[in-house]
């Protein structure tokens, strides 16, 4: 059963005279207890997709449409996220679906202590008294591995390091054991050794609370570490979908292949790096036809004219390319 079901999601932003099509018909499903990743570069629409699911985009300037955007809560009810009012969404967020953001320092309120901010979750959603809420907060802080939680609860966000702040965010997001956890680049702002700690913590929490995970990242290493299934996005469209093992070992789309190839293995030293020419097109001036056509080394006339459809190639994999990968790589 799918916890989150996104069918043909489109998000437009009004920008000056025209529109920016940030997400163009994305279909993503997250099963129960499944760990799914969306991978792509900045501007590919991966964050907008997750924000649309949480209904955290202001409308306008954003315009969201979808054939279906449904979420199944713990009691088995199916919710249509697009038709919910803000009040109904408030009840759903944190209790049923929660999100961790990239930069913990902008997420936390600088004029409230860490303890107060954690307490809010319990006071608002569980209608607890202050003292009881604090007891739960401290308990949560222990669960996410914060040393000396009583002292930390009285501190303000600026007194904490980035890694600790991210732990606080994880504590907040997972305190009511939601059904779905969305993590939007949770380790990008952190150091490598702290990244290892945080990734481990997220997977532990997901396993323990039986949460589904939607991981948004640009790092294929994180994908490999954290996900079972992955969607590759480019310029607002999904270009490839499959299990992590399959995609990393045997990519079928030229973009995915290029991404995998640009990361050299650690064991052997390379003299030059494999590079993708040019850069990501401006969201208002995407190429006609296949969006990757101007950077693709296998591009043909057909690619420049018409956008390829998402093809099912069996084995639970889909790819947005006219050609079979085996033929392409031989060229």
Partner 1 sequence: MGEVILKTNDLTVDFKVRKNIFGKADRLSAVQNVNIEIKKGEIYGLVGESGCGKTTLANAILGFVPITSGSIECFGHTIDAKTKASEWKDVRRHMQTVFQDPYSSLNTRFKVWEIISEPLYIAGERNEKLLCDRAASLVEKVGLSLADLDRYVFEFSGGQRQRIAIARALISDAELIICDEPTSALDVSVHSQICNLLLDLREEFELTYLFISHNLSLIKHITDHMAVMYLGEVMECGATEKIFENPACPYTEALMSAILEVNPKKKRERIILSGEARSPINPPDLCRFANRCPKACEFCQTSPLPPFAKLSEDHMARCHLNYK
Closer residue to partner 1, CB minimum distance, 5 or 293: 293
Closer residue to partner 1, CB minimum distance, 9 or 198: 198
**Pair of tokens at residue 148:** 């000396």
| Smallest gap from residue 82 Cβ to partner 1 (A) | 31
Please report whether residue 280 would count as binding partner 1 according to CB under 8 A.
yes
Please report whether residue 258 would count as binding partner 1 according to CB under 8 A.
yes
Residues that bind partner 1 (rule: CB under 8 A) add up to a total of 45
Which of 192, 301, 327, 330 is the binder for partner 1 (CB under 8 A)?
192
Q: How far is it, in rounded angstroms, from Cα 319 to Cα 311? A: 5
Which of 9, 48, 138, 220 is the binder for partner 1 (CB under 8 A)?
220
Stretch of 27-35, 91-99, 104-112, 267-275 contacting partner 1, by CB under 8 A: 267-275
* Pick from 19, 98, 6: nearest CA to 46: 6
What is the distance between the terminal CA atoms of the chain, rounded to a whole angstrom?
41
Closer residue to partner 1, CB minimum distance, 140 or 248: 248
Q: How far is it, in rounded angstroms, from Cα 326 to Cα 63? A: 39
Closer residue to partner 1, CB minimum distance, 196 or 284: 196
Which of 82, 112, 260, 299 is the binder for partner 1 (CB under 8 A)?
260
Q: How far is it, in rounded angstroms, from Cα 137 to Cα 51? A: 26
Please report whether residue 76 would count as binding partner 1 according to CB under 8 A.
no
DSSP string, 271-306: SS-----S-PPPTTSPPSSSTTTTT-TT--HHHHHS
Closer residue to partner 1, CB minimum distance, 309 or 316: 316
Which of 218, 304, 311, 317 is the binder for partner 1 (CB under 8 A)?
218
**Biggest distance spanned by C-alpha atoms of the chain:** 68
Q: How far is it, in rounded angstroms, from Cα 324 to Cα 4? A: 30
Please report whether residue 56 would count as binding partner 1 according to CB under 8 A.
no
Q: Does the N-terminal peptide bond of residue 326 adopt cis geometry, omega within 30 degrees of 0?
A: no
Q: How many CA atoms lie within 13 A of 306 on its CB side?
A: 5
Contact 203, 226 (CB under 8 A): yes
Which contiguous run of DSSP H or E holds residue 233?
Answer: strand 229-234
Residue 327, Cα to own-chain centre: how many angstroms?
A: 32
Please report whether residue 150 would count as binding partner 1 according to CB under 8 A.
no
| Smallest gap from residue 300 Cβ to partner 1 (A) | 21
Determine the 3-state secondary structure of 188 from DSSP.
coil
Determine the 3-state secondary structure of 40 from DSSP.
coil
Which of 61, 264, 309, 316 is the binder for partner 1 (CB under 8 A)?
264
Could you identify the residue written with the tokens 């997709």?
A: 49
Stretch of 28-36, 77-85, 194-202, 206-214 contacting partner 1, by CB under 8 A: 194-202
Please report whether residue 259 would count as binding partner 1 according to CB under 8 A.
yes
| Smallest gap from residue 312 Cβ to partner 1 (A) | 23
Task: Kindly tell me the number of DSSP H helices and DSSP E strands found in the chain.
Answer: 13, 13
* Binding pattern for the stretch 90-129 against partner 1, x by CB under 8 A and - elsewhere: ----------------------------------------
Please report whether residue 263 would count as binding partner 1 according to CB under 8 A.
yes
Where do contacts with partner 1 occur on this chain (CB under 8 A)?
Answer: 41-42, 147, 161, 163-164, 191-197, 200, 218-222, 224-225, 244-245, 248-249, 258-260, 262-267, 269-270, 272-277, 279-280, 295
């Amino acid at each position: 059963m799918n916890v989150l079901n996104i069918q043909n999601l489109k998000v437009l932003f009004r920008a000056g005279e025209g529109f920016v099509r940030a997400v163009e018909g994305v279909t993503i499903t997250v099963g129960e207890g499944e760990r799914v990743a969306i991978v792509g570069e900045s501007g590919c629409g991966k964050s907008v997709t997750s924000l649309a699911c949480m209904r955290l985009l202001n409308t306008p300037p954003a315009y969201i449409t979808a054939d279906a955007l449904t979420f199944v809560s713990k009691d088995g009810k199916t919710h249509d996220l697009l038709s919910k009012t803000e009040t109904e969404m408030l009840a759903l967020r944190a209790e049923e679906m929660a999100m961790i953001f990239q930069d913990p320092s902008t997420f936390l309120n600088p004029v409230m202590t860490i303890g107060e901010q954690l307490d809010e979750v319990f006071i608002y959603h569980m209608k607890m008294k202050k003292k009881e809420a604090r007891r739960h907060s401290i308990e949560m802080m222990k669960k996410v591995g914060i040393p000396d939680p009583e002292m930390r609860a009285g501190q303000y966000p600026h007194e904490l390091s980035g890694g600790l702040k991210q732990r606080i965010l994880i504590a907040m997001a997972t305190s009511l054991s939601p059904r779905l956890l969305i993590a939007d680049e949770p380790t990008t702002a952190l150091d490598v050794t702290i990244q290892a700690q945080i990734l481990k913590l997220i997977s532990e929490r997901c396993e323990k609370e039986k949460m589904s995970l939607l991981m948004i990242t640009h790092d294929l290493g994180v994908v490999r570490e954290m996900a079972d299934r992955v969607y590759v996005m480019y310029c607002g469209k999904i270009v490839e979908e499959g299990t992590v093992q399959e995609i990393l070992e045997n990519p079928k789309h030229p973009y995915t292949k290029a991404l995998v190839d640009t990361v050299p293995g650690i064991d052997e030293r390379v003299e030059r790096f494999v590079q993708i020419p040019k850069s990501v097109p401006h969201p208002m001036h995407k190429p006609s036809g296949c969006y990757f056509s101007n950077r693709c080394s296998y591009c043909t006339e057909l690619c420049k004219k018409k956008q390829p459809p998402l093809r099912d190639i069996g084995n639970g994999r889909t790819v947005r390319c006219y050609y079979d990968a085996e033929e392409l790589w031989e060229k």
